[in-house]
Amino acid sequence: MNTVEKIIKNEPVADALSLFALIWPAMRIDSMYGRYRHEVISEGVLIDTYTSLFKDGILSSDENGKTVKGPNWTAPPFMIEKRYE
């Protein structure tokens, strides 16, 4: 199992998205969740969480439309604890 798969399968959607959205486009994230946790997509959790992260200031968009850290962004616990290194 690769690191991305482990994160998707084991971490809360909001925590994983707060990191993955900074480095990958939404379509790629959708594809990864479709592969490893399809219920997150079929139940609408992925899009609801993505929208909430922007609304809550955890994620934001720069002048070019790229997803960047919002004013309320903090590293997800799995990063701080270095669970997947």
pLDDT in tens, 6-30: 999 999 999 999 999 999 999 999 9
Give domain status of residue 50, yes or no. Answer: yes
Structure tokens that stand for 38 in this block: 């399809």
Give domain status of residue 66, yes or no.
no
Nearest to 12 by CA among 35, 30, 37: 37
Residue range of the domain that includes 23: 3-58
How far, in Å, CA of 43 to CA of 59, rounded? 22
What is the pLDDT at residue 14?
98
Residue 64 lies in a domain: no
Structural domain includes residue 22: yes
What is the predicted pLDDT for the residue at 1?
80
Q: Structurally, how many domains does the chain consist of? A: 1
Residue 59's pLDDT band (boundaries 50, 70, 90)? very high
Any domain includes 45 = yes
Measured CA angle at 18 (ends 41, 3), to 5 deg: 75
Read off the pTM. 0.90
Is 83 within a domain? no
Evaluate whether residue 41 is within a structural domain: yes
pLDDT at residue 53 tops 90: yes
Tell me what the mean pLDDT of segment 51-65 comes to.
97
